[in-house]
Structure 1
Amino acid sequence: MKKVTILAIAAGMMLLGSCKKFLKEDIYTQYDPASFTGTADGFEKVLNGAYSQLQVTGYANRNDVYCFGEFCTDEMWETGGGFEAQAKDFINFTWDATNSFFSASWTKSYLAVRDANVILDNKDKASGIPADKLKAYIAEARFIRAAAYSYLYNFFGPVPLVISGKNVDALQTKASEADMQQFIITELTAAAADLPATQALRGKATKGTALAVLCKYYLNKRMWKESADVAQQIITANNYSLFTDISRLFAVENESNKEYLYVFPCINQTGYGNIVMAHTFPPAYPILTNWIIFGAQFKLYTKFVDTFDPTDKRLKMILTNYTDTKGTYHEMSKDASGNPLNNARSFKFVPDPNGLSADMGNDIPVIRYADILLSRAEALNELNGPTAASIDLINEVRHRAGITDIKLADYPAKENLRDFILAERGREFFGEGKRREDLIRMNKFITGAVARGINAKPYHVLYPIPQTEIDADKNLQQNEGYR
């Protein structure tokens, strides 16, 4: 990991469903870690900086969620604009270690780790902070650090574990798989034990947030029993529920809902906005004068759109036709002969009326309650094969979508229900960056890409360690398959 000497701390505005307002924003151009740690105000400022680095909004979200998590899959692709050349690397599996998106994601994650380490390194020096408040600060720092490492692991596999800011060796080696796993599980478990169920301020991690990240980490590691158990813990707590109208879940006015366990908050300001709609509005789409349409267009594959039942309410979030500002009508899914156009758009994020240019205030979900339900269903199926319990969890999500129940009798084997869960997760979470990890977990990421005519190799299940890090650290080994 490169040594960083002068770093910006921007206050985080990380939204969780139970919170009522944003964290106060304080901006610093540089800082001495020791000067921030003596008081509650100092601890909070460093935590705000850590949250700011952990969240991914604006163009960083476009890169991490869509390039890393969607364009390399069977759901979504991109054409047009100056972004096309960069997106093609992910569509065609031609990325390499020099891609700047990898280094940007790596750097942000390690900055979050650094700030969390400042809190944990100085927890015994705090003065005048009540014990319960200090305990909460420590739990937040442990969550941020573990979440950042979980994020890195999802993309790059094991990475260097830097668990203190004191006497950091500039030359680091990757942690072992076992050490990485133990650290993430231990830290998330400890954080969940000490975090409150709700917070007064938007932007504070809760018990549910930590458990949600832990549940998904277990799931992606195929630790089925552990994932099922943590999911049940979240369900039993009864703090979360499905939002009634899926088509309006992602609207700005519905952000404070009980379905969001973990989100990246957005406001209509550069760097803090959700810019996805500027990429999904088709050419000459009738937009408000305060919005903008990018030349780089995010599109859904017709084959994916065709997997939806015609009565599925989630289809309301997909634009398949429109009349442009000149009065011309456009079909976007299929042409008159029924040939796929691969041009439908995800309108999951209801455009923010107060959006400014590309920046809209729609919060970006990382983990929703629907994900917890389907994660437990999947884990139970992997443990026991199809059961009434797993079918009921799936149907809970389908009820909200307004479609008919599936029946246990229709899924005689684990493999049958596994395939259905993968398809159902696609319909529920398209555009949320989960497709890559779902396909990897079910061993269909590489085979699916090959079936699309792409020269995908087994090593592509991980992204390369950024070349800038390899060049700066002679002890850091590149991931297998990359030069």
Structure 2
Amino acid sequence: MTKPIIYFAAACLLTASGCKKFLKEDIYTEYDPAQFGNSVDGFEKVLNSAYAELQVTGYANRNDVYCYGEFCTDVMLQSGGGFEASAKEFITFTWNPTNDFFNSTWSKGFRAIRNSNVLLDNKDAATAVPAGKLKELVAEARFVRAAAYAYLYNFFGPVPLITTAKNIDPEMTRATDAAMTAFIIDELKAAAQDLPPKQALRGKATKGAALAILCKFYLNKKMWKECADAAQEIRELNQYGLFGNVDRLFAVENENNNEYIFVYPCLGQTGFGNIVMAHTFPPGYPIQSNWIIFGAQFRLYTNFVDSFEPGDERLKMILTEYTNTSGVTIQMNRSAGGQALNNARSFKFVPDPAGQSADMGNDIPVVRYADILLARAEALNERNGPTQESVDLVNEIRGRAKASKIELADYASKEQLRDFILAERAREFFGEGKRREDLIRAGKFISGAQARGMSAKDWQVLYPIPQREIEADKKLDQNDGYPK
């Protein structure tokens, strides 16, 4: 395992609710607990460095969200450009432990954990920090650490559990599944107790954010009662609701909406942006002069696009035809003869007029309120079978999209409603990196890939521990199925 180190840069892209700005960036060559613990400012600088590593924006978002969460599913694929070879490994289920994306995800997650641990190691010496403020900072650090572990767990399963930045053994075994699960749950519960309901800056942890990460963790662990209860607790906070116009939900001008529970803030500046649209604009699309089109193209499967009802407002976020700069109208979803083209595009992230080149300012949602409603609907169905409440929750999502409401009488079994909720989650969250985990939970990830002609194996529900880490730590076991 890569050793935790004491050198770091404390910088974080967090944005104010009224306008976009950077927090002050402070570059450190070595931290001194005796110094940063003397003030709120010192503690916040360390905490900001933890947030910076937790956030997945720019090219990291492309790798972690799209390669890990979308291209290996029945919703989205990629072709063209220099990125095609990298994406193909995930489309075809041919990834391996030497893929550098896994190195990056692992290192970034453990840096967030390390930087959180630095603050937590020194909380008792922070006598100059007011008790109330210290309590909140500690809760934020616990949130970041737990969220980072939940992120790593989603991809790799249990990993080494490190809860201090002091005297770390360079060779550590992986935690048991039970220990890692208990740690993530306990930390998020504790953080939720002490976090405020609102923060001045987007991207910082709140009570709702901690409960939302916890709710989704319960969901993916199939802890149905706990998931349903956590979702209900979030609803009872009365902080969140569905944004009215779903096709404008992801536009820059609407990112202060109360559907977003936790986000990765973005700026239209090099290295800090949402780069998805540069991969989405098709060749010859009439873009603004300050934007760019990449050769690497993110595309939607025709079967997925066809799953929407014609009147579904979410179809407004999908480009199925356009007139290019030569005046030619291009069909994207099906040819004139009805052939599936698998080439429609997700315009969910409405292009930012002020974006610079590939970088746009659209915040990237991690969890939004729609996810919580559908999580509770799914959990209730798994516990009790179809009920009016679970159907009503689904209909909140469909009603917002102006899609037809479903009726309880049409779902005679748990399995029938489960399949509908799975399909509804695809329609609601395409391009947000959730499809892989949803398919895994439904037991359809591997079988679905095989149906698409991929040589997917059962053990590929987890990604491999990076080979670099296996070689550096002789006690670190590789996931089943991958080269030992």
**TM-score when scaled to structure 1?**
0.98
Give, in angstroms, the shift of residue 455 of structure 1: 0.3
Matched, 1:94 2:94: yes
Letter in 1 for 2:415: E
Q: Deviations over 1:135-174 (max 9, x none)?
A: 0000000000000000000000000000001111000110
Letter in 2 for 1:470: I
SS at match of 1:262: strand
Give, in angstroms, the shift of residue 7 of structure 1: 4.1
Alignment of 1:464-483 (within 5 A): 464-483=464-483
Identity in percent: 66
Letter in 2 for 1:47: L
The answer to whether the 8 A contact 2:188-2:214 is kept is yes
Residue of structure 2 equivalent to 1:251: 251
Letter in 2 for 1:177: D
The answer to whether the 8 A contact 2:49-2:115 is kept is yes
Give, in angstroms, the shift of residue 15 of structure 1: 5.7
The answer to whether the 8 A contact 1:9-1:30 is kept is yes
Aligned equivalents of 2:4 and 2:434: distance in 1?
Answer: 31
Matched, 1:156 2:156: yes
Aligned equivalents of 1:127 and 1:64: distance in 2?
Answer: 39
Residue of structure 1 equivalent to 2:30: 31
Aligned equivalents of 1:190 and 1:75: distance in 2?
Answer: 36
Aligned equivalents of 2:270 and 2:3: distance in 1?
Answer: 28
Give, in angstroms, the shift of residue 11 of structure 1: 1.9
Residue of structure 1 equivalent to 2:199: 199
Q: Deviations over 1:64-86 (max 9, x none)?
A: 00000000000000000000000
Gaps of 5+ in 2: none
Distance 1:382 1:44, change over 3 A: same
The answer to whether the 8 A contact 2:275-2:360 is kept is yes
Letter in 1 for 2:192: A
Aligned equivalents of 1:203 and 1:30: distance in 2?
Answer: 26
Alignment of 1:298-313 (within 5 A): 298-313=298-313
Residue of structure 1 equivalent to 2:441: 441
Give, in angstroms, the shift of residue 404 of structure 1: 1.4
Give, in angstroms, the shift of residue 4 of structure 1: 4.3
Residue of structure 2 equivalent to 1:51: 51
Letter in 1 for 2:412: P
Letter in 2 for 1:477: D
Residue of structure 2 equivalent to 1:216: 216
Letter in 2 for 1:197: P
Alignment of 1:226-305 (within 5 A): 226-305=226-305
Alignment of 1:54-203 (within 5 A): 54-203=54-203
Q: Deviations over 1:107-140 (max 9, x none)?
A: 1110000010011100000022111000000000
SS at match of 1:298: strand
Distance 1:6 1:123, change over 3 A: closer
Give, in angstroms, the shift of residue 293 of structure 1: 0.1
Q: Deviations over 1:368-414 (max 9, x none)?
A: 10000000000000000000000000000111000111000000000
Aligned equivalents of 2:192 and 2:68: distance in 1?
Answer: 28
Letter in 2 for 1:105: T
**TM-score when scaled to structure 2?**
0.98
Give, in angstroms, the shift of residue 25 of structure 1: 2.8
The answer to whether the 8 A contact 1:14-1:55 is kept is no
The answer to whether the 8 A contact 2:6-2:31 is kept is no
Residue of structure 2 equivalent to 1:454: 454
Matched, 1:361 2:372: no
Distance 1:15 1:464, change over 3 A: farther
Give, in angstroms, the shift of residue 19 of structure 1: 7.9
Letter in 1 for 2:339: N
Residue of structure 2 equivalent to 1:330: 330
Aligned equivalents of 1:453 and 1:179: distance in 2?
Answer: 37
Aligned equivalents of 1:477 and 1:176: distance in 2?
Answer: 12
The answer to whether the 8 A contact 2:219-2:375 is kept is yes
The answer to whether the 8 A contact 1:266-1:363 is kept is yes
SS at match of 2:200: coil
Distance 1:122 1:10, change over 3 A: closer
The answer to whether the 8 A contact 1:20-1:202 is kept is no
Residue of structure 2 equivalent to 1:341: 341
The answer to whether the 8 A contact 2:4-2:114 is kept is no
Gaps of 5+ in 1: none
Which stretch has the larger CA shift, 220-229 or 198-207? 198-207
| Aligned length in residues | 482
Q: Deviations over 1:87-126 (max 9, x none)?
A: 0000000000000001101111100000100111000000
Q: Deviations over 1:408-460 (max 9, x none)?
A: 00000000000000000000000000000000000000000000010000100
Q: Deviations over 1:192-245 (max 9, x none)?
A: 000010112333210000000000000000000000000000011110000000
SS at match of 1:366: strand
SS at match of 1:365: strand
SS at match of 2:367: strand
